[in-house]
Amino acid sequence: MNILVIYPYIPFPIDRGTYQRTFHLLRELARDHTIDLIALSENGERMEQRHVFEEFCRDVRFVPFQHPEWPKLIPNRLFSRTPSSIHHWKLPHIADAIRDQLKRNSYDLVHVCDIVLAQYFLDEHKDIPLSIDRSRVDLQFQTQQAAFNARTLKDKLLAGESLVKMRRFEKRVAKRSQLQVLCGPDDEVFVRQHISKTAPLKVVANGVDLDYFRAEIDPEPRSAKPTVLFCGAMDYTPNVDALRWFFSEIHEQLTQRIPELRVMIVGKSPIPEVQAYAKLQGVTVTGSVPDVRPYYRRAWLQMVPLRIGGGTRLKIVESLAIGTPVVSTTIGAQGLDLTHGANILLADTAKAFADEIVRALQNSPLRQHLRENGIRVAKARFGWRSIGAGLSAEYRRFEPQQRKQVRLMNVPFDVVTMPQTMERIGSMITSRRPHYLATANVDFLVQARHDTELRRILDAAHLVVCDGTPLVWLSKLLRRALPERVAGSDLVPQLLARAEREGWRVFFLGGEPQSLSKAIANVEAKHPRIEIAGAYSPPFAPLDRMDHETIRERVREAKPDLLLVSFGCPKQEKWIARNYEALGVPVSIGVGATIDFLAGTVKRAPRWMQVLGMEWLFRLAQEPRRLLKRYTTDLVVFGIGSLREIARSLITSQTPQRA
């Protein structure tokens, strides 16, 4: 695959925790895919590191930039819909660099780091799948910051204003992205609860360079006096807050019980508050160090007193790999699936945290036990090679192979004719692996604008065909031409004819019982050698109240090659997406009213009306009470959406391109 990766910084040298993640994931992705890199260089720094990335990237482009001044509250910030922390990264020359790169090369996927860069793909470049690697979930991070730091009324009002805008922006990004890559299950829970219940997510835990952070067989002697390490960027709010809690509520307890205690604070850019801790007896603040490993090896243990969660936990996996035991809060170790007493010590109150540190410092066998188990779990689960391979495999579902798609109103359509669709389906059945298809019409686009589960289903579908003449017209106006309409009501009869020739077993699911029986009788009369594996019309019920297990059992027992589901959109698409893998059927398709057409209970429009895109009018005349509201809504929403798409296309085409 060709993947464009865009970073808001140059992640080398690796002197921040986030750089560990982004650098190593980039290098691992490059093992399996062709990678082009755009990285932003603040104030032109790190531009000399190009050669590092040219070793594994095809094209490397560093874009110098300077952060603009933060907007004043009135009028800029207050009347902007975009959070100031996001708008701060919106610069015209960055947008130009992205446009130029996309003009020069074709990409199967764009991978950006954090949502500050996702904003460049919300109104432009919507035909390219977008994956966002989240080093932290911004809404979660700002919520926690507000809880700890917003003390005055002014601070609370500003935090509230920012959170309202960030929530709206996060939801917008969730609708646009085809995948969000998160650091831990807690991030996933937060996104599901507060941003989107259906956005496509994948948890990719942070890893460690097992060669660099290698545990010595005969480790160097630890410091003579009991020493506790805290490692991380010292201008990062969660780390600063962790130290604030430690020194205000825990440190004195420890020094009373272990007078010889030494505390090492290791990490770049310590703010004045952190530097002040060096005045305390036994406390050392190093600032940036060329190599953190000697500090890990000298420390008796590392403490992670984090109270603000989300994002990276690299200090923990590094510590495990190198063999330094860890005492952490639960939130500090979330997402790593570590076990208290086995490979880590966990505590969440000041007293309990002090107790666990004392217990570990005074118990050498316990430290050795944690050391050995930590090394074991790091090797088994946290190597970048295996973590990167997991993300690379996830990205392969975007691999086009012979698949070309265009996006209309943010819904993907495969550029296929009817014969090509038939061949794709034939290949899927031959593979014996489960697939699902969608025959998307105007109503799909309208519903997908607000139904994020349906949009996710269409993004993940193995084939999406264009079942609407107006969509073909729109694609041509946008110069993303779809070759023809592939209507489900035309596709199914051709599939049934081929099923008879090829010996495919067909299962009909849904429709009214009488219509279903009539449809099967008509199909068998027309195709006497066809194998009808089964048919079932389950009792009508909302999707979440259906007897899914009974339906699955009937389908599995029948072992069909082709499953035709007629529950209506979007119910049938949601049912298929939730169940197709468990069913194991090679091809599942939502066919809507096609069973009624096969039964003859509903007539199709004359051919001339189909060609002119007027089939909806014929259907409306047949069922005005049921379809009037839906068609009116579709007409208005699709019309407005089409005008917006055309306007954006014109604006983009007229935007001057930089050489």
Q: How confident is the model over 193-202, as a mean pLDDT?
A: 89
Strand, helix or coil for residue 483: coil
- Measured between alpha carbons, how far is 281 from 493 in angstroms, rounded to an integer? 83
What pLDDT is stored for residue 613 in this prediction? 62
By percentage, how much of the chain surpasses pLDDT 70? 92
Confidence of residue 328 (pLDDT cuts 50, 70, 90): very high
- Measured between alpha carbons, how far is 438 from 458 in angstroms, rounded to an integer? 7
Instruction: Provide CATH 3.40.50.10700 ranges for the chain.
Output: 401-617
Q: How far apart are the first and last CA of the chain?
A: 26
Where b means 16+ CB within 10 Å and e means fewer, 399-423 reads eeeeeebbbbbbbbbbbbebebbbe
Cα dihedral across residues 345, 349, 352, 357: positive or negative: positive
By percentage, how much of the chain surpasses pLDDT 90? 59
Task: Find the range with the poorest average confidence among 351-360, 403-412, 605-614.
Answer: 605-614
Confidence of residue 572 (pLDDT cuts 50, 70, 90): very high
User: Which residue's entry shows tokens 């429709």?
Assistant: 511
**Who contacts 193 (Cβ-Cβ below 8 Å, separation ≥6)?**
none
What's domain 227-381's superfamily in CATH?
Glycogen Phosphorylase B; (3.40.50.2000)
Task: Find the range with the poorest average confidence among 5-9, 99-103, 366-370, 405-409.
Answer: 405-409
Burial status of residue 607 (CB atoms within 10 A of its CB: 0-12, 13-18, 19 or more): exposed
Strand, helix or coil for residue 180: strand
What pLDDT is stored for residue 219 in this prediction? 67
Instruction: Provide CATH 3.40.50.2000 ranges for the chain.
Output: 227-381
Burial status of residue 350 (CB atoms within 10 A of its CB: 0-12, 13-18, 19 or more): middle
Residue 32: other Cβ atoms inside 10 A: 16
Bridge partners, residue 413, by sequence: 406
The second-level CATH assignment, the architecture, of 2-203 is 3-Layer(aba) Sandwich (3.40)
Q: How confident is the model over 510-534, as a mean pLDDT?
A: 94
Instruction: Provide CATH 3.40.50.11720 ranges for the chain.
Output: 2-203
Burial status of residue 494 (CB atoms within 10 A of its CB: 0-12, 13-18, 19 or more): middle
Size of the chain, expressed as the number of residues it contains: 659
Strand, helix or coil for residue 199: coil
What pLDDT is stored for residue 30 in this prediction? 94
Confidence of residue 205 (pLDDT cuts 50, 70, 90): confident
Q: Where are the alpha helices (DSSP H) in 177-206?
A: 185-194
Domain 401-617 listed as CATH 3.40.50.10700: yes
Q: DSSP state, 47?
A: G
DSSP codes, 508-548: EEES-HHHHHHHHHHHHHH-TT-EEEEEE-PPP--GGGS-H
Summarised one tens digit per residue, pLDDT across range 628-639 is 676 677 678 777
Summarised one tens digit per residue, pLDDT across range 298-326 is 999 999 999 986 555 788 999 999 999 99
Residues 304 and 288: beta-carbon distance below 8 Å: no
Confidence of residue 402 (pLDDT cuts 50, 70, 90): low
Strand, helix or coil for residue 415: coil
Pairing status of strand 531-536 against strand 505-510: parallel
Q: How confident is the model over 150-161, as a mean pLDDT?
A: 83
Greatest Cα pair distance, the chain, in angstroms, is 92
**Who contacts 395 (Cβ-Cβ below 8 Å, separation ≥6)?**
1, 3, 29, 33, 109, 111, 131
Q: What is the 3-state secondary structure (H, E, C) of 449-470?
A: CCCHHHHHHHHHCCEEEECCHH
